[in-house]
Structure 1
């Protein structure tokens, strides 16, 4: 029997003890090395690598020239920037050590890490870990412009509604069906598009997740993330038939078997088992407005489940450094018009 990846010594290359022992300068250098691999500070506005180093050594002033596209006039950039400028960490108040600890905790939670747990561990306000974790989840979508191909599986999962008992005694099947019809209307769909891993196991397969009011509403998203020539495996839901006009479609009737004529969605169902375990065991309940954010987090962890945790920390830092200003900025100050859900 093969050993579970999480039991392998190679999966743990960064311990929390090492993170807590880091100095602020060491944590800062880790962010800087990932932001600028060549070691040269680069202006986030004009991309110029020529700049003055200001007092303190952690702020630069750009010497680049910006050309106006309409008039052709040129002007000096003179932007003062830091490592975190134009990123979700823009105008941060926490130290780099604290941010690195939060990222490491986020990574080590295989099924997710509750914000209340981080609040107790770091003695922060609950708002701090809640917003920061959602900034990470938002940044993980920075690579969503890369399309999937080969053989993929598409399936949906109902989320966003607690299990409840009927408020009245059920005496026949008609009353039971009436109750479940009302119950279903309170649910929405988390749809996953998952590439199958390579035969040699070296390529685990990428995932894309979207949250919609129904599976039918996610068809446009599915088409947008797939390359031409992709083979798509789905169940017998009629909403997926529209994909047949664009891709080779293979369908499996789950009321008969899990696999049928080579078609199955077992890899997608495997991801949903992680989602259910996280929803019920860690987060307990998801508001529908946050369901896609949690789904993106779990999809990223499923995709990188064979990657050691030290590399995962660096991958998240890279996503944060490449993402733009977060829409979660000012969330607790009720700037809700900035939050796109």
Structure 2
């Protein structure tokens, strides 16, 4: 019997032991190589593109010989204005990608001995960077569409005579959200949260190429996609897969997301649900890559992303 990839040595190409034993300089060089891969880590000015720069090595900064601007390897990126050292940042990313069902900010703060606020913002910055991978992607071919609800749990009353039917919309919490997933077979996974699953119809039209084959369940609102797509429907009350028609890929994503929320985060606010869904989708799409490759992919994406307008100065704005 063949060994599962995640159990093999090929899946383990990065470890905390190696990160901290190699030290700060090796972590810094890794960030440089991933920020400027076309020059194998040799810096160039992010403003004018000049390759002639001075290395201010005592401060790990560079100065452009053309426009005289100073910059660092993290200038203008998600990691701008960072306080963590490069080895701690790489260690945090190693822990982040190693967690196949997500990682709580409390656990990361304990592992790295940093404040919970630091871990919380860092992880959301990483989720913002990985979500950018599919921000403009269009799905085609065979695509599975499905939705599931998260949050908004209403605790039943203590006395039986005071309990209400929580299935009725009038007795539900306003915090309940639906996540709609579009998953291309053999391709990428795109997600978005809505108040109601039916709102995902326009989302599907926006992100799926017309004429593609869509597999969906028997929920009525997916009928609206029939004029633009080749629809294949599966009635889950009769079978989960029939003649090659199924939504098993979408269900696999929801399984990971539910375990991520229930097992790690315990509670997710509706305004952040989309970032957690994007995180679960990213883990699903790259589940057959080694953890070292995942770390490099995430660092490269974060260094290519602009400064986060939502998360830079997050706690300062909340305190104000």
TM-score (norm 2): 0.90
- 1:43 offset after TM fit, Å? 2.6
* Correspondence for 2:292 among 310, 313, 321: 310
Greater mean deviation of Cα atoms: 180-189 or 233-242: 180-189
2:266 is the counterpart of 1:277: no
> In structure 2, the residue corresponding to 1:124 is in which secondary structure?
coil
- 1:298 offset after TM fit, Å? 1.1
Greater mean deviation of Cα atoms: 285-294 or 53-62: 53-62
* Correspondence for 2:77 among 87, 91, 95: 87
Match of 2:52 in 1: 51
> In structure 2, the residue corresponding to 1:83 is in which secondary structure?
coil
Aligned length: 315
> In structure 2, the residue corresponding to 1:23 is in which secondary structure?
helix
> In structure 2, the residue corresponding to 1:152 is in which secondary structure?
strand
2:21 is the counterpart of 1:21: yes
> In structure 1, the residue corresponding to 2:289 is in which secondary structure?
coil
Q: Distance in 2 between matches of 1:261 and 1:177?
A: 36
Q: Distance in 2 between matches of 1:184 and 1:167?
A: 18
Greater mean deviation of Cα atoms: 54-63 or 258-267: 54-63
Greater mean deviation of Cα atoms: 325-334 or 183-192: 183-192
> In structure 1, the residue corresponding to 2:28 is in which secondary structure?
helix
| Counterpart mapping for 1:1-341 below 5 A | 2-37=2-37, 38-39=39-40, 40-46=42-48, 48-56=49-57, 58-63=60-65, 77-144=67-134, 145-162=136-153, 164-166=155-157, 169=160, 176=165, 182-183=171-172, 185-197=174-186, 205-326=187-308, 327-334=310-317
Q: Distance in 1 between matches of 2:30 and 2:239?
A: 50
C-alpha spacing 1:302/1:336, structure 2 compared with 1 (3 Å): farther
Q: Distance in 2 between matches of 1:31 and 1:42?
A: 14
- 1:330 offset after TM fit, Å? 0.8
State the superposition RMSD in angstroms: 2.4
